[in-house]
Structures are given as structure tokens and as C-alpha cells.
Chain A
Amino acid sequence: MRKFVGVFASSLLLGASSVSAACGIEAGSVRILSNDFAALGTVIDEARECAADGVTVSANLTTEHKSLQVPALTVDPSRYSVAMVANNSLVPLLNEGLVRPLDDLVAEYGDQLEDRQLVRIGGEIVAIAFMVNAQHLYLRQDLLEEAGIDAPTSYEGILEAARTLKESGVSDTPLGAADAAGWDLAAEFVNMHLGMGGDFFEQGSAAPALANETGLRTLEMMKALTEFMAPGYMTVSADELKNQYVSGNVAMMNEWGSMVDGIVGAAASDRQIAEATTLAAAPTVGGGGIPAAALWWDGFVIADNISDEDAAASFQVMMHAIRPEVAQDNPQAAAWLISGFDAPESARGMLATAEAGARPYPMTPYMGLMHDTLGVELVQFMQGTESAEQALADVEAAYSAAAREAGYLN
């Protein structure tokens, strides 16, 4: 509704033809490829305002964007001039060299950008970030108080608290995690492993470096947590985890900050649970000093295989779409990384995670292959039919086969 009013007001103030003047573009074709979720929809609606005589703005929001982006940007001229990416989906585009360096455009049109929004690789600006996301703790303060425990700040503390909650009969399944086989499970491993201070690869090469003490401790902790979860934990996706929590079945979870809206605040589905929920930084683990959660950003890149005119138009349209007012008008839509954004209460879990020094999700070219492998090969260990050593050996073997095929290993 607010967005609607905003659009209405701006068109009233500026009038139809001067909108493009607001974007500062005379001509160009802007074609956006994007994932399909609400916050990106907000940005793209803003981008569409720039459409005018000689300026076309079209967008394709699709959940299949990851499969489409590489072929769509490979052709010349690219099917899309702008691709919305996150730190994982940027990598395949970089690997194929499909991303335009943005230094000139930023210098010319990017006054509004803060330095932290610029994603630089080897000194070149390749992407502009405008939102962040991370997993962090959601705690049911009422249940913790009922069992007489303080809010835990580490996974070891969470295990202890979960045992107390279960033994005192406050909650049968005090814990929840997005352990669904596939992407979610792998993301949990990445979080925990980063929290343990672990690495995924040998420095400077694509060779895996997981089968070691840190990897084993990561897996042990993941498995230990499942003892306090509902039995079908291998099918619980991030969305399902939120449902478990808002139905009152889970007392503590490490869940995405982007899910916060349905859990606390005005849009919460259960008032009592919303009021009893506290948000905190993701827990530390294994005595490590940083939260066990990877930090993610969402942003955009400009395609390499397009004309300079379209590139300039696309960049300017995106600058209009992520101008500071957009963040101020939609504070609940996302944790904006836009200057002047005053983060609401609901974003404090995520901000606390970032401030406590959590590591970003790795952008190495072969991290995606590792992630895909983890999602498949850890399953048997998590179900208790395989040892941790075997699981890690399987991960390394499967990853190496994939990496050889993709040309990263010989």
C-alpha cells in the first residue's frame, strides 16, 4: 500500500514526462533479470518508473534466474542488461567474464553509493550491493524463562538449553534448523564451518580442504543439534522452519533475517509468539569468536555484452531504483544497504550478526560446486547411517569429480 501511495505521490509531483528526467536518461533499453521475491519486486517497480519516450524498462522475475543468467548474458547483445545477483549467483557470471566493470559508471552516476556497497574484485567494481541477509537467532524468551535459563549465545549453550527445555517438559522439540537435504543443508554446514574458523579449499587452489579436525567438529555439532528437533528434520526448508516456529513448536532457531516479517512485527501470524521472541546475533561455536552464519548481499551487475548507451541507461535506472527514499519508504521490505537507511528493530538480529564479525559467504569460483556437493553428500551422515569421516571423504571425492569436469582441477 505504502509503495502504491509512493508511486502515486511521485507521479503527482513530477508529472509523467519528467519522471525520466528524474532518472536522467534520454534513451536506452533496460532489461532486468531477477529472482522472484518481494524486496526485489519493490526495486524493480521503482526501476519501471524510468520508462519514458525512448527509454524502455522491462523485467523478468523468475525463480529459474540462476539457470538463465549465463546463456542470456553470453549472447551478444545480451538478452538482459541488468542481472540481479547475490554473492553466490554473481560467481558463475564472473567465471564466464560476462560482467561489465562499473568504475566509470560509478564515478559518473554513482554519487549516492556508499563505499560498502561497491563489490570489488581485484580492484575492479563488478557489482553494486543494496540489501543484506544472514541467518541469526530467534529465541522464545517466554519458554527460556519458564525453564529458568539465560539466552544462549553459543551453539554449546544452545545444546545445554535445549536439554533443559526438553527435560523440564517445556518443549519436546526445542530446536529447529533448515536442514532440508540440498541447498539448505549445505548452507547450514557453511555457516557452522565458518563459525568454527574452517576453510573449504586449500589456499589459492580448488583442492578441497574439509576432511580435517574442523570439518569433523562442524558435523558433530550439526548432528548433536538434531537430537532436539522434530524427526522429519531432513525435509525442513527455511520456509518450513519459519512455520514450525510460528506454530510454537520450536523454541530456538537460527533462521534467515529475511523471514523476520512473518515472525515479529505487525505482519506476524501469532501475536503471543511475536511478543515473546527476541532477536540476537547468530551463535558462536567451538570457542570461535565470530557468529556461525555466512553474510549475504543482494545487488546487481550490468552485462558486458551490451552497448555503452544501454549500460549507462541501465545503471542510471538502477540508481533511481535504489535511491535512499526507496529504503526509507519500505523499511520492512529488506535490510537495505543504502545510505541513510535507519534499520528498524526487526533487523537488529541480522545487524548484530554482521557487527560481531561473521564472515561473508565465499565468492571463490568453485564454491558453488562445493555447496551443491555438500547438500547431497552430507545427507547420510545427518541421518546417522554414515560416519563423519566417511561423509567428508565422500564430499571431497564428489566435489573433486565435479571440479575436474568443470575445469578447476586436473
Chain B
Amino acid sequence: MLKGLSIALFLSVWWVVVEVGFLGFDLLRTPLETAVSLSSFVLGEAMGSGGESLYVHGYHTLYRVLLGTGLAIATAIPLGLACGWSDWWRNYVYPSLELLRPIPPVAWVPIALIAFASEFMGIVWVVFIGAFFPIFVNTMEGVAQIEPEYVRAVKSLGGGRWELYRHVVIPHTIPSMITGTTIGVGIAWIAVVAAEMLSGGPGLGYITFQSYRLMDTGVVIVGIMVLGTIGALSSSVVTRVGGRITPWSDEVGE
């Protein structure tokens, strides 16, 4: 009951501020107008002047996020395991990564554009950086939290180095990896939107900002809604997949 009221309240506030023109809200569209333009874009109408549809923009953005996050998972997990488990990696590799970690991913945009000489690779790099550090840090912390009793248990059962990795270190750390990936995907979305706004399109971040320049606020709001929806979907995919992989853990899942 109250939940429905909450949503209704949200929509009415939106409506009222646009109609009344509170601050600069009169430049935006009402919920109804937004619903109309959303449905036409969903049906494939071109967004703004470029002529590409919602799906073309969505595809480019999603592709960058998937690629960047995929690369981040593929590198951050092994590095996190290594830095968490081995003194050598922790002593000699980890400090360098710690130095780079506080740099916000979007600050890499100009560096990546110069270094890669390709807009596409530049944006993917920024997404990669955004997703990498949360996964890396969480994996490493997950390894640090392994109780020595488990290690002793496997050793006393005759397990060697490899068995230790396979039966204790990796499974014990999976929930932390998933937590890290959830955070990483969220930051990847921030990174991709900002990078596209800065460096150009096609892409959802690009078209949202481009339409603002052309004062086409209908497209702006739809762009934000679509970004929110895909963002929510992608984090729920991570949580669901995570819950499937780790049925023993109550850290991940709904």
C-alpha cells in the first residue's frame, strides 16, 4: 500500500515541479510526455539528430561495459589472489597498485585517449579501471579472511599447494569476488557514461549529453531512465549469478 503511495508521490512531485517550473524544472518533460517519448524510442525511433536508435546506443555502451568489466574480472581476480596469498606479490606488486587505486577512473579518460589513439579502447580502458580496483581489493581481503584452520585441515588431509588453492583459497574467496564485482559493475557504469560524455558516441552517455546541448530534454530523460534500468539489471544479474555459484554463502544473493 505505502509502497504504491511512495511511487505515486514520486511521480506527482516530478509532475508538479515540471508544471510549476520550480528552479529550472520547466525545461524538463512531465512523466506522461516522458512515457510517450520512451515508448517511441523503444519502438526504434531515432534518438536525436544522429539518426541512431536507442538500441544502437545501448549496444555500444553495453559492449564497452561488458568488455571492460570482463577484462577487469580476468585480471583483478588472479592479481587479488596472488597479492592476498603470496608475500612476494604483496610486497612488490601491491604497493604500485595501491598508488594507482585512488585515481578516479574518469581522470584516466585523457590519458587513455592519448595512449590508445582509439576512442573505443580508451573508453574500455576507463571502464576497466573502474571495475578493476573494487574486484581486486575485495578478492585480496577475502583471501586475508581465510581462517588458518581450513588451511590446516586441507594440509593434514594431504593436500599440496594446488589443492589448497582449489579447495580452500578460491572457494572461500568467491563471495568476496562477487561483492567486488557488484561494486565494480556499478562504477563501470559511472565510468562509461562519463567517458562517453567526454569523448563522443555513439553510446547512451554520449546521446544523453548531446541531447542536452541541443535542449532535447525528452531524449535526456529517456537516456537516464534506460541507463538506470540497464544498471539495475546488470547488478541483479551479478547478484543472481553470484548466488548460484555460492549456494553455501549467505553473503551474496537476494
Are chains A and B native binding partners rather than an unrelated pairing? no
